[in-house]
Amino acid sequence: MSSKSGWGSRPYVGLSLSKPHYSIYSTRTPNCSAYTVLLSGTRGKRYFGREPDYPVENPQTPQPMRALAMLFILAFLQLVCHSSFSQCKTAPPLEACLGTEATVSDNEILLNGTKKWYYGPTATFSQLTMRGGTLIVCTDLTINVLNIDSGTIVIRPGAKLTAGGGGGGMIWRGGCAIYNHGRLEITSNLSFEGPYATAARPNILMNVTTTSSSRAFNYLVINNPFSFFVNNGLAEVHGIITDNNAVAGSVCLGHTSQLKQTVLINKVKDTYVAPDGYACVSVYQLSQFADTLTDHPYVLVCLSASHSSVTGGSNKPNAWGAANVFQNCNSCAEMTLLPVQNASTKPYTPPVVQAANLTIYPNPFADIVRISWENGKKPRSVMICESTGRIVYCRDLEQERAGVLTVSLATTLAAGNYFVKITYPGAVIVRKIIKAAR
């Protein structure tokens, strides 16, 4: 999928044609692999894609018109699926650092077309101004006041940039980007405000890889439809405000990424997306909603025991949308598969696994696993992962009343070893289960 398309997911699509009248409606699963299309004409109905569970009328529409309509439908669905579930934006190729390139100096202004490097010993600049130029950080650099009217900063692996915006904070004015492959710290507010950014000149703040890390000691404010925060690694920020002029997909989360916030304020529908796999968002203190946070179930929300939520508009508190929410969650680490001790590679065939008054059966399993517990011994959450750590199932059990959980896993999962992570207050248990070959 293109990385330049929109992020938002549209669960429903409608289109009307006339003379003769046709209506096209589409419903899709999150991977666009299954859909139902209803073509309603003046003389009948026809379903394409997944067959309905009830009979339909035979259409009387002339063959050329039906063929043309079918071609249009297929092209339309391809466009919809392509644009609705795009991946996060990606970074340009990483710039090299040989130690022989032109070096940047304190108080310099990097104009459009200018490219400078910093590869010297750890240093502190009082000020640097970006006006269309490019800076590649190869070692450790602190910039007390970083003015970015436009331009690009690349932080290489192993390097660190610490930057502030002075008393007024840091305001990006379109065509600004930081691609962080190493470590980034922002000591002031960072705002993507006003009409400055455009489709041709977006603002992009990105943790590029799973080992990238960033900290923002104040607020990150996204208030422009062409401004994006992409996190593929670890991001810690006092608070992210997706303001009224943000768009769906403003915050794009890569698979296994972690986003830690003290405060989360969301004013636009579905600003958070996780198109590639599970990602964790933890909120320690406060969340405020004027609209739902996400329509992506891959977003895992970890709420601390001290968290509270309030309304910021028409939506109720805790408007997390399709996210999987975990209450009384200490950190995103509770949603990460911990190292498994004594995970032998020898054949493992016991029919039942028992631990802490917990029973997991059958084992090996086909597609369904049941997890039961004694009264008063209910776990906090259950997660099932592949041996690579990829999550294939997660469930918060805070509201679960029954003493058994039935888990139906996808029939397409490969045979082999899987791990069940069971979280209790103050304890985590990991057990291995096996999916049998068919």
Q: What is the SS3 assignment for the chain?
A: CCCCCCCCCCCEEEEEECCCCEEEEEEECCCCCCEEEEEECCCCEEEEECCCCCCCCCCCCCHHHHHHHHHHHHHHHHHHHHHHCCCCCCCCCCCCCCCCCCECCCCCEEECCCEEEECCCCEEEEEEEEEEEEEEECCEEEEEEEEEEEEEEEECCCCEEEECECCCCEECCCCEEEEECCEEEECCCEEECCCCCCCCCCEEEEECCCCCEEEEEEEEEECCCCEEEEECCEEEEEEEEECCCCCCCCEEECCCCEEEEEEEEECCCCCEECCCCCEEEEEEEEEEECCCCECCCCEEEEECCCCEEEECCCCCCCCCECCEEECCCCCHHHHCCCCCCCCCCCCCCCCCEEECCEEEECCCECCEEEEEECCCCCCCEEEEEECCCCEEEEEECCCCCCCEEEEECCCCCCCEEEEEEEEECCEEEEEEEEECCC
Which of 270, 300, 335 terminates a domain? The answer is 335
Domain range for 49 is 12-84
Of residues 292 and 325, more confidently modeled: 292
In a domain, 40, yes or no: yes
Which of 84, 117, 138 terminates a domain? The answer is 84
Claim to verify: residue 402 and residue 307 sit in the same structural domain: no
Of residues 137 and 77, more confidently modeled: 137
Query: How far is residue 407 from each of residues 43, 361, 395, measured CA to CA in Å?
Result: 44, 11, 9
pLDDT tops 90 at residue 425: no
pLDDT in tens, 98-153: 999 999 999 999 999 999 999 999 999 999 999 999 999 999 999 999 999 999 99
Claim to verify: residue 276 and residue 388 sit in the same structural domain: no
Q: Among the ranges 255-264, 350-359, 369-378, 408-417, which has the highest mean pLDDT value?
A: 255-264
In a domain, 4, yes or no: no
Mean pLDDT of 422-429: 76
Give pLDDT, residue 63: 54
In angstroms, rounded to a whole number, what is the distance separating the alpha carbons of residues 150 and 111?
A: 9
Mean pLDDT of 31-40: 33
Mean pLDDT of 18-44: 34
Contact 277, 299 (CB under 8 A): no
In a domain, 275, yes or no: yes
Q: How many domains does the chain have?
A: 3
Average pLDDT over the chain reads 79
In a domain, 103, yes or no: no
Claim to verify: residue 141 and residue 286 sit in the same structural domain: yes
Claim to verify: residue 220 and residue 283 sit in the same structural domain: yes
Percent of the chain with pLDDT over 90: 54
* CA-wise closest residue to 3 among 266, 220, 254: 254
Give pLDDT, residue 326: 85
In a domain, 69, yes or no: yes
pTM: 0.67
Claim to verify: residue 219 and residue 285 sit in the same structural domain: yes
Query: How far is residue 241 from each of residues 111, 163, 188, 233, measured CA to CA in Å?
Result: 30, 20, 14, 20
Mean pLDDT of 186-192: 96
Q: Which of 204-213, 227-236, 280-289, 339-348 has the lowest mean pLDDT?
A: 339-348
In angstroms, rounded to a whole number, what is the distance separating the alpha carbons of residues 151 and 203?
A: 10
Claim to verify: residue 181 and residue 329 sit in the same structural domain: yes
CATH of the domain at 405: 2.60.40.3080
In a domain, 417, yes or no: yes
Contact 5, 86 (CB under 8 A): yes
Give pLDDT, residue 28: 35
In a domain, 174, yes or no: yes
Claim to verify: residue 359 and residue 253 sit in the same structural domain: no
Claim to verify: residue 215 and residue 279 sit in the same structural domain: yes
In a domain, 341, yes or no: no
Claim to verify: residue 303 and residue 407 sit in the same structural domain: no
Claim to verify: residue 133 and residue 73 sit in the same structural domain: no
Claim to verify: residue 115 and residue 71 sit in the same structural domain: no
Which of 335, 364, 387 terminates a domain? The answer is 335
Claim to verify: residue 177 and residue 206 sit in the same structural domain: yes
Provide the pLDDT confidence category of residue 209 given band limits of 50, 70 and 90: very high
Question: Phi, psi (5° rounding) for residue 171?
Answer: -120, 120
Contact 162, 139 (CB under 8 A): no
Provide the pLDDT confidence category of residue 194 given band limits of 50, 70 and 90: confident
